[in-house]
Structure 1
Amino acid sequence: MLKDFYQKNPKWCLIGAGGLICVLILGFFFFYHANGEEVEVKSQQITEQKETKTQNEPAKKEEKNSVVFVDVKGAVRNPGVYQIPKDGRVKDAIDRAGGLLSEADPSSVNLAQKLKDEMIVEVVKKGEKGSSALAGTTTSTTEKAESEKVNINQATAQDLEQVPGIGKAKATAIIEYREKEGLFTKIEDLTQISGIGEKTLEKLKAYLEI
């Protein structure tokens, strides 16, 4: 019946074919558009994940480099290893360890000294000497210094004064330089101190360390 109809009315046949083509085109368009949006969404999600990962990596690295680990020993309430901000001072490390005990000698440490990673902060009791101090009465000053070197980044002015070639003036200058410029990175940095030249430095190397 339809065959006879289209044979008698060929224009309707053309209209029907045209309509079918339109339907196919519209269907293809909607299918492609929907899939395109899905691909675009997935692509955007992947890009956002990569950006988030890239942003997080520097943040983690920066966080790791912004702290130091310090070993607090001696006359403090809670001795141990503490994580302190990189720009922290000895006082901050002692505070994290619970503060000084009543029998502690505050002058045995430099509370204003800048902290360094793996640094040891030792607070001694009043009347006692720390492990870095040159103690004893049966050996000469030279023998004591050579047997146990003084760490110029941790030593107090009193410790430095006991080193041959460093008097009160040089000891004070070393402490002041350390507080102003930061920790020494090598023994040779001592030549920045007034009164310490190359010859003096060679003699001091036997008694000092970083």
Structure 2
Amino acid sequence: MSRQRIAMLVVIAAATGYLLLTGRHCGISSAVAARAVSVEPATWVGISGDVRFPGLFPIGANNMTTTAILLTEPYCSLSLNLSMPNSPLGGRVRVVCPQPPGDAVIEYLPLAVNEQLLLNIPLDLNRVTAAHLEKIPGIGPVMAERIIQSRQKNGGFSSVSELNMVEGIGDATVRRLSRYLQVVDTKRKY
């Protein structure tokens, strides 16, 4: 082997060793990290604020948002009694570390409609506005207004299939729209 190749291999080995030894150390046991991983996310949560690793994280059906917050490594402590909603629509969490130091303050907001659509999280048919409906492919202002009027007239939808009662929406359109819409709370009247 030439000296250049040997030198290059030594540099690569040294860089690999350095990266392995100084990689991300989150301080969370592997058991907690393993439980935080889910094959199919039930929803997503965006975490920002006073954390080392902000981002958008998948949340499994059996996991809590607090697990995702811990994985982002907040710069301050979290209360053990922290209770965060696990919404089927996902959400945004902002971690704020108080001055003087103490437990983190957690602000919770729902995901924006654009974020939900990009992540393939269906919008709640009983809460969506006409402007939000217009962001769905194939729904224009007239159809969006018909859907809203039908919802107001009938006190909300109990399933997406009830869209076929709206003028201009047939079974094929309902099947296409069911990718973008869901009914989360059938008991709430609008």
- TM-score, with structure 2 as normaliser: 0.37
More helix as a share of residues: 1
